[in-house]
Amino acid sequence: IMPRKPFIGGNWKSNGTVESTKTLCAALSSGAAAYGNKVEVVVTPILPQLNLTQKLLRKTAIKVGAQNVSASKEGAFTGEVSAGQLKDARVSWTLIGHSERRTKYGETDAITAEKVEMCQATGISVIFCIGESLEEREAGKTDEVNKRQLTAVFDKIKDWKKIVIAYEPVWAIGTGKVATPDMAQESHAAIRKIVSEAAGEEVANGVRILYGGSVTPDNCKELIAKADIDGFLVGGASLKPTFNDIIVAAVPPPVLKKPKFQKVDGLKPEARGVNTFLKVLKEPSKVEASEELREVLAGDDSGCVILTVRADKADICKVGTTLRVQNAHVAMIKGYMRLTVDKWAVIKAADAEGEVKTVKEDKNISSVQYTLE
């Protein structure tokens, strides 16, 4: 499966003046070099400022989209802006189905389907929003609601490359509440399965699914590490210069053509792009409160470390097997180091050249607690 390019959307909602937009765009422009083309970024200002925002961000790779689009073509539809008119204004993206449109303005599943159809016919790319209310979550209807909202548009989509799905649990939008990373991952995996059943595995593996709902610079790193979270649709936090920090957090570690491999005792807290050979000492065990993760004790002649892997990768972690790990990162769990094989990392059985002969079992670097400033 080819890695999906991270995607960050900034929904500015009904906020901003000309002056505040100039200030924000200046901050975004100055921070854009930190991620370049490694992350796809789309911001959606208020309609009167679409052209202004395009001009202010013209020297960056940031794209500008609309927050809404008409279900109708051009004509006697006062207050509406058609997909064709967005295209004429060189606007290439739009939101459809945001919960505020659904709950406050009566936007039904049928209306979202008509809007998607218009955008597909015109070539406008869509961030399609889905998500359940608190009442629906507590009733155990999260997957049912997401499936209903998606099913409404499946037969309208002819070009999946112009579709990004944004899962936003309504109860978490603007409330400060956020689904735990495991809760979000569970919903994202279910959404990918729904897409797979309707449109095929190839489409499901390629479509990007964003998380939205009180995303901040503080919680974004843990969320983006999850296998099926491909980015974020950010509300209030996208109106601040620290929106740059959220975008940078989504940058994948570089894949080295000739990676340098290091020993366990050289691992540092929060290191990224780690390449190493490790011999498995103990069978994988379940991580508390996470169905998708397993922990494996492994090491080399300099020490040992707890390796965190996804459940679907645990089968290769047999005792005595030497693993070749590339592009992993060191996560800090309550001050303790865990070498984490996330969606951007590669893990496989090593060949004879990389085989670890002995392991220094009495030096477990995951047993040392760090205090990070």
Q: What are the E-state strand segments in 73-200?
A: 93-96, 125-130, 163-167
The DSSP letter of residue 365 is: G
Task: List the Cα angle 213/216/217 in 5-degree steps.
Answer: 155
Task: Please enumerate in sequence order all residues whose Cβ is within 8 A of that of 85, keeping only pairs 6 or more positions apart, or say none.
Answer: 74
Report how many helices (DSSP H) and strands (DSSP E) the chain contains, helices first: 11, 15
Contact 91, 50 (CB under 8 A): yes
Contact 229, 250 (CB under 8 A): no
Task: Please enumerate in sequence order all residues whose Cβ is within 8 A of that of 28, keeping only pairs 6 or more positions apart, or say none.
Answer: 43, 57, 60, 62, 241, 243, 244
Rounded CA-CA distance 262/277 in Å is 8
The closest alpha carbon to 77, from 123, 121, 122, 115, belongs to 115
Selected catalytic residue, list 98, 107, 132, 186 = 98
Catalytic residue status for 98: yes
Selected catalytic residue, list 40, 100, 168, 295 = 168
Rounded CA-CA distance 25/120 in Å is 29
Catalytic residue status for 329: no
Rounded CA-CA distance 309/301 in Å is 22
Rounded CA-CA distance 26/56 in Å is 7
Task: Please enumerate in sequence order all residues whose Cβ is within 8 A of that of 95, keeping only pairs 6 or more positions apart, or say none.
Answer: 9, 11, 44, 65, 66, 67, 68, 126, 127, 129, 166
Task: Please enumerate in sequence order all residues whose Cβ is within 8 A of that of 365, keeping only pairs 6 or more positions apart, or say none.
Answer: 264, 265, 267, 303, 304, 305, 337
Contact 302, 330 (CB under 8 A): no
Rounded CA-CA distance 365/369 in Å is 9
User: Hey, how many other C-beta atoms are within 10 angstroms of the C-beta on 107?
Assistant: 19
Active-site positions?
Answer: 98, 168
